Structure 1
Amino acid sequence: MGGHHRRPGRDELVRTPRAAWLVLAPIALLTLAAMVWLWPTEDLSPPEGQSGVAQYQGSISAIERTECTEELSDDVNGCGTATVALEVPEDDPRENPVETADVPLPNGPGAPEVDEGDDVVLILNETPDGESYAIVDHQRGTGLVLLVGAFVLAMVAFGRWRGVSALAGLGVTFVLLLYFVVPAILAGSPPLLVAIVGSAAIMLTVLYLTHGLAATTTVAVLGTLASLTLTGLLSALAVSALHLTGVTDDLSLAVGTTQGVNTQGLLLAGIVIGSLGVLDDVTVTQAATVAELARANPAYGARQLFVAGSRVGRSHIASVVNTIVLAYAGSALPLLILIVANTESFGGVVTDQIIAQEVVRSVVATLGLVAAVPLTTGLAAVVLRAHPRTVSGRPSQGSTVA
């Protein structure tokens, strides 16, 4: 587990097939040109009249509880007030901001359960009677920093340099999502096109950054690209045929109405981006599997490598499919509970747009994965058998090196 990672040697870099680079180079240039074309240049500040509610941070110094005069529909903290010491920012536009406020204890669906000493988030409402604060959430910045820190330490301790490169790839993914994909969609670019371009940029950058400039990485990139293209086409066909709008809850409705985003395109973009994370896992695994098989038995031909690699791929797909379905079911579990509770027939549950949307996500992603296995395995078998030095750095037994 903790052994030294073998970096690709010079022969592995040289022996990456020229045809693969002839395919990848135009794709990389086209991706770069598309990013430049789609890069948002407009001001993405909220539309006039839609500025966000002012939020403040504070700490609860005392809680005074009182007897409720009427029954609460969703009692979380009971009746009473919390004395909150507010953190007033230096750029606060108010002339005389208060530093301490008595705030009603929060109750209702989703209200945070509070106690003395808790660090909380409050919103400020302007009323005819003056300013009014309300506790809406807990501060969790410190906890998240500790959690992320533990994640980074675990990755570095276990993966060593491979873990560091994986973290760098993760950073690139977040940068592209937050600074290109999301702003470009908000700027009015077609969500599906943005998702395809962003996914290609993530794939080309992260796979090589994480796994090096080896032939197996090039094979994985080509397999991922082909499977991702198929996934995009299938998702567009399924969403159109089933008349899915992408509007299934208040959040998607708000994105469509307030931001003017095409929700159907946003659904397609989500399917493509979500599929990429699983696709690159499968393609990298298949390419590496074929490489290890070729290294372990240099006598294997391309057909034997393909057959043996496909057996591993089938087992991988069987487990990944269940992962995909459970991931989508978990994310939609609250909505699924509501639909099942209010629908008597099984057919009514399955054909509801919310469930149909998740079915499309799962099925389309699975079809893309199924296609990725033979595509990547076949390409890896041909490439690694045709160029034995990409496997071992030396000619395999019985082979002739040009």
Structure 2
Amino acid sequence: MGHGHAHRAPAGVDEAVEVGGPGRTALLVALGMAAVATVVGLVVWWPSGDASEVESAQYAADGVTFPVGEVRDVGEPCPFDEAPPEGCGLVTVEVDGRDVDVQVPPEVINAGLARGDSVELLKTPAADGAESTYSYFATDRDGTLVWLLLLFLVVVLAIARWRGLFALIGLAFGAAVVWWFLLPALLDGASGVGVALTGASAIMFVVLYMTHGLSMRTSTALAGTLVGIAITGLLSVVAVADARLTGISDDAGGVLRAYGDGLDFPSLLGCALVIAGLGVLNDVTITQASAVWELRAASPQASRWEIYAGAMRIGRDHIASTIYTIVFAYVGTALLVLMLLSIYDRSLLELRSTEQLAEEIVRTLVTSIGLVLAVPATTALGVLIVAPTRPGAPPSPGHE
């Protein structure tokens, strides 16, 4: 242990670890091939914009606008379980220079809508010169969204500093890939899993190197992430087909099917499974690569098996906590569905094969399997890259 610390370079653990030549070369070649495959996928599936499987959908009828007004008065909410009294659920809104009364769902009033709040109305022009009609569309939540976003940026930059800034830039790049490549390509009818693998790979190449720097440690984490993505993609294809999942489990799927009957919804579900586990997968592979490098720096003469065993002890703890994260994240997103299922006169076990519940179970299990298998894969790759130092040998000049 003392020998390892004596040779640790001031720049950090990357300089303190000897990197084996053949392992380094093999890893870089494999990543190069993955990068080429990613570029090919981007070229092949890049959306053309003129051959979409989904017809263009108009959000509202011609002439309809969405003015924002200020709430002047809030009436009593209408009751859910009895005949509503006259005048209940009315909210007075000042808009376009005058006050208008609009009917508002009771849950909106119960959520705390009050005088001074801003609401977005739907203004429908009337024919033959009559006055336009107004109806409630949404509560204006820009103020809350802005202060939450600013708080998020301040917290990330104050605590993570430059790493946080690079992570935010990487997050913006990932969002751009999803918005300008993944979604349009899916709407063009491209292979869901193929597009997911390509988009996820492109995101990880940029995000990992931008956030964690150019190093063999980052390259190892990237390789482990790509292995986990590939496993998740393969499992998603098999599981979705074997479970005969339709990929349409909510209202959004039904609406999208109405506009794009040619879409392959099971393939879209496979894409969703790959993207769903991307962030957590990246987290565990970075942790495992760092664990291998730290253990090697602390014990330069330890055997590869000793380093692997030590890193896997760390990995097992991380696997346990991350699985909790995945499961409870899905419980949070599907909470209302679970509550609805719980009040039926059949148990959850009896309802396990329904589309909604089975889809969540498959999503959780597929992403968890990909995550768990990525841990030993990343650890093994790292152990093969970082070579033990021969007793009495000087530090190698060829380390990262």
TM-score (norm 2): 0.85
CA deviations on 1:310-345 (whole Å, 9 max, x unpaired) are 011111101111111111111111111112212423
Shift of 1:13: 9.7
**CA separation in 1, counterparts of 2:216 and 2:253?**
42
Distance 1:244 1:328 in 2: 18
Counterpart residue identity of residue 191, structure 2: P
TM superposition shift of 1:124: 2.3
1:84 aligns with 2:85: no
- Is the 1:13–1:213 Cα contact (8 Å) retained in structure 2? no
Paired position in structure 2 for 1:100: 98
Query: 1:12, 1:214 within 8 Å by CA — same for their partners in 2?
Result: no
* Partners of 2:305 and 2:292 in 1: CA distance: 11
Could you say which residue in structure 2 is the equivalent of 1:94? Answer: none
Q: 2 CA distance for matches of 1:360 and 1:140?
A: 34
- Check 1:340–1:207 CA distance in 2 against 1; reply closer, same or farther (3 A cut): same
**2:379 paired with 1:377:** yes
Question: 1:284-335 CA distances to partner (integer Å, 9 max, x unpaired)?
Answer: 1000011111111212121110000001111110111111111111111111
| Secondary structure of 1:217 counterpart | helix
Tell me how many residue pairs correspond in the alignment: 379
1:82–1:105 CA contact under 8 A, matched in 2: no
> 1:210-266: CA deviations, max 9, x gaps?
111111111111111111111111111111111111111111111222234322111
1:398 and 2:399 correspond: no
Which residue identity does 2:305 align to in structure 1? R
Structure 2 SS opposite 1:146: helix
Q: Secondary structure at the match of 1:349?
A: coil
Contact map agreement 2:73 2:91 (CA 8 A) in 1: yes
Q: Higher mean Cα deviation, 248-257 or 58-67?
A: 58-67
Displacement of 1:185 after TM fit? 1.3
Corresponding residue for residue 43 of structure 2: 36
Give the match for residue 283 of structure 1.
285
AA partner of residue 88 (structure 2): G
State how far apart, in whole Å, the 1-side matches of 2:360 and 2:179 are: 24
Mark the CA change 1:295 to 1:375 in structure 2 (over 3 Å): closer, same or farther. same
Q: How does 1:18-57 map to 2 (within 5 A)?
A: 18-42=25-49, 47=55, 50-52=58-60, 54-57=64-67
Match of 1:242 in 2: 243
State the structure with bigger RCO (CA 8 A, min sep 6), 1 or 2.
2
Map 1:199-218 → 2, pairs under 5 A: 199-218=200-219
Aligned amino acid, residue 166 of structure 1:
A
Distance change (3 Å), C-alpha of 1:212 and 1:81? closer
Please identify, of 309-318 and 18-27, the stretch whose mean Cα deviation from structure 2 is larger: 18-27
The 8 Å contact of residues 256 and 262 in structure 1, kept in 2 or not, is answered as no
For the aligned residue pairs, the C-alpha RMSD in angstroms reads: 3.2
Residue deviations 1:21-75, cap 9 Å, x none?
A: 111112112211221222223157984674435442323252275998x997689
Aligned position for 2:7: none
Q: Give the conservation status (yes or no) of the 8 Å contact 2:13–2:297.
A: no
Q: Counterpart of 1:351 in 2: which secondary structure? A: coil
Secondary structure at the residue paired with 1:364? helix
Residue correspondence of structure 1 range 2-401 to structure 2 within 5 A: 6=12, 17-42=24-49, 47=55, 50-52=58-60, 54-60=64-70, 62-63=72-73, 65=75, 78-86=88-96, 99-108=97-106, 113-126=112-125, 130-260=131-261, 261-385=263-387, 398=393, 401=396
The CA distance in 2 between the partners of 1:176 and 1:268, in whole Å, is 18
- Over 3 Å counting, the alpha-carbon distance change for 1:61 and 1:369 in structure 2 is closer
CA 379–65 in structure 1, closer or farther in 2 if over 3 Å, else same: closer
Gaps of 5+ in 1: 87-98, 389-394
- Aligned residue in 2 for 1:89: none
Distance 1:243 1:171 in 2: 35
One-letter amino acid of the counterpart of residue 198, structure 1: G
Mapped to 1, the partners of 2:16 and 2:317 lie a distance apart of 33
Q: 1:108 to 1:258 in 2, by over 3 A?
A: farther
CA distance in 2, matches of 1:135, 1:5: 59
Q: Counterpart in 2 of 1:392?
A: none
Give the letter for the 2:116 counterpart: G
Query: Partners in 1 of 2:76 and 2:366 — Cα distance?
Result: 55
Q: Taking structure 1 as the reference length, what is the TM-score of the superposition?
A: 0.84
CA contact (8 A) 1:103 1:135 kept: no
Question: What whole-Å deviation, never above 9, does each CA across 1:152-186 have from its counterpart, x for those lacking one?
Answer: 11111111111111111111111111111112112
SS class of match (2:147)? helix
Q: Cα 1:315–1:263, aligned 2, differ >3 Å: closer, same or farther?
A: same
| Contact kept in structure 1, 2:228 and 2:281, CA below 8 Å | yes
5+ residue gaps, structure 2: 1-9
Give the Å deviation of 1:206: 0.6
CA positional deviation for 1:347: 2.7
Deviations, residues 102-129 of structure 1 (Å, cap 9, x unaligned) = 1324124556653221111111235666
8 Å Cα contact 1:7/1:212 also seen in 2: no
Q: Which amino acid aligns with 1:103?
A: D
Moved more, 203-212 or 122-131: 122-131
Displacement of 1:187 in angstroms is: 2.4
2:4 maps to none
